[in-house]
Amino acid sequence: MKQGTYYQPEIEGVGRKALRELQNERLRWQIRRCLTKSEFYQEKFRKAGIKASHIKTVEDLVHVPVVTKQELREEQVKHHPFGRYTVAPEREWRELDPSTGTTGTPVNTIWSAKDIEHITEVTARTMWSFGVRPGDIIQNGFSYGLWVAGMSTHYAAGHLGCFVIPIGASMTARQIDYLINPGSTVLLCTPSFALHIAENLRERGISPRGLSLRRGCFGGEGGTETKATREKIEDGLGIDAYDYYGLAEIGPTFASECTEKAGLHWAEDHFLIEVIHPETLERCAEGEMGVLVITHLTREATPMIRYWTNDYARLETAKCPCGRTHARSVGGILGRADDMVIYRGAKFYPVQVEKVVRSYRELGDEFLVELTKDEKTYADVCTVVCECRSPEMDKSLLEQHLRKDLREELLVTPEIRIEDFGTLERTTFKAKRIQDKRPKA
């Protein structure tokens, strides 16, 4: 592979067989140390009747029970504050990076010095793959604080020789000021914040064509790979937009699209990616949708073995047109199990609503899926709430079209409420698309 096109050509273009051997070797190392040093894993393996000697290859891992976020929360309560899955000794701890707490009590994750080094290396690799080069001005709109993505991208930007603006996920007006001067060339933030910045640019009458911004990578929520959302971000900011993925328990920014926009590339030398059928718990066939289950192959401080992410995706191992050999998830994250709406027997995800809503030029980018109870029948009512850009628009006609398109996409017909533009809350962090207003049983 050509030096310059790739950040780490030897590993990014490694043959699948050699990659699998490297994974097997690293997996044995990880299992050995977890079963020597962590009571959490010792207990788990003992209950399942599995010894370290049983796990020789990636194939053997299917017998190991998964780790869920709920399990980590309970472990932290019982063995306060870090649980017994912290494998590195305390003197090697360097950073505490908990999950955001968007789905409950935050789970504590610790990084050792070596972990920070690996996280920086993998993040730099992802940034290089979507076109970041030394000299770029990176406007880092990922939240710093306790959100892991801010730190990892900051470290990687420095590592790549870029000039970084650590603005974080706030101050929309200043975001725009920095896009103008010094003229950031790369924007990192959530897709909903990117759309919000684009909306503000439009309101201020600033043409994105006059800006130096040329690319952006958007994570923390799905959506960037939804055709309509990607087009809105790209047109609104005058850039190429790429998808980013990570999660606190596993790694902040370890999968992204390359410039081919052909799905999320996984860093398979550091992470073992499985796609598991949610009911049979067996591995899905290539291209089949299931839940992502991830194992740390190199993580020192709080390693996860078969972490159940709750995120749905597909996996493909065919070589990408970019030449990289690591597996990809085409279409990105296809939904979060936590966000699944069950309505009149149909199951759907907010990302499917997004696909429809954002395909309408007449509608704003914001939307909500509201769940309520009918006062008389006590049946669930699901309402898609969105905004109409123009007050003169015939809302009933728009509603008719929207109802038909939503029914086709969701296989069920939700109620629709079209509000005036600007009614729904704008967010700089992760957008919450479901509002459950049903009385608690």
Nearest to 138, CA basis, from 151, 153, 128 = 153
Give the sign of the dihedral formed by CA 339, CA 344, CA 347, CA 351. negative
Closest to Zn ion by CB, 310 vs 325, is 325
Quickly count: other Cβ atoms within 10 Å of residue 160's Cβ: 21
Task: Give me the least distance between CB of 15 and Zn ion, in Å please.
Answer: 16
Closest to Zn ion by CB, 132 vs 258, is 258
Chain contacts with Zn ion (rule: CB under 5 A): 258, 260, 320, 322, 324
Q: What would you report as the CA-atom Rg of the chain, rounded to the nearest whole angstrom? A: 22
Q: Are 307 and 293 in contact (CB under 8 A)?
A: yes
Task: Give me the least distance between CB of 251 and Zn ion, in Å please.
Answer: 19
CB contact set of 227 (below 8 Å; sequence gap of 6+): 355, 359
Q: Which two tokens stand for residue 202?
A: 């439009």
Kindly give the residue spans of alpha helices, DSSP state H, lying in 6-84: 9-12, 16-37, 39-48, 69-78
Residue 426 burial by CB count (10 A; 0-12/13-18/19+): exposed, middle or buried? middle
Closest to Zn ion by CB, 45 vs 130, is 130
Task: Give me the least distance between CB of 243 and Zn ion, in Å please.
Answer: 12
Task: Give me the least distance between CB of 316 and Zn ion, in Å please.
Answer: 11
Task: Give me the least distance between CB of 324 and Zn ion, in Å please.
Answer: 5
Closest to Zn ion by CB, 12 vs 71, is 12
Task: Give me the least distance between CB of 3 and Zn ion, in Å please.
Answer: 17
CB contact set of 25 (below 8 Å; sequence gap of 6+): none
Closest to Zn ion by CB, 270 vs 326, is 326
220 alpha-carbon distance from chain centroid = 5
Element (H, E) at 279: none
CA gap 303, 250 in Å, rounded: 8
Task: Give me the least distance between CB of 323 and Zn ion, in Å please.
Answer: 7
Residue keyed to tokens 């998808």:
243
CA distances from 205 to 169, 178, 240, 241, 433 (A): 22, 16, 21, 22, 28
Closest to Zn ion by CB, 213 vs 322, is 322
Task: Give me the least distance between CB of 162 and Zn ion, in Å please.
Answer: 21
Closest to Zn ion by CB, 198 vs 320, is 320
Closest to Zn ion by CB, 67 vs 320, is 320
Q: Are 425 and 193 in contact (CB under 8 A)?
A: no
Quickly count: other Cβ atoms within 10 Å of residue 362's Cβ: 17
Task: Give me the least distance between CB of 367 and Zn ion, in Å please.
Answer: 31
Closest to Zn ion by CB, 258 vs 369, is 258
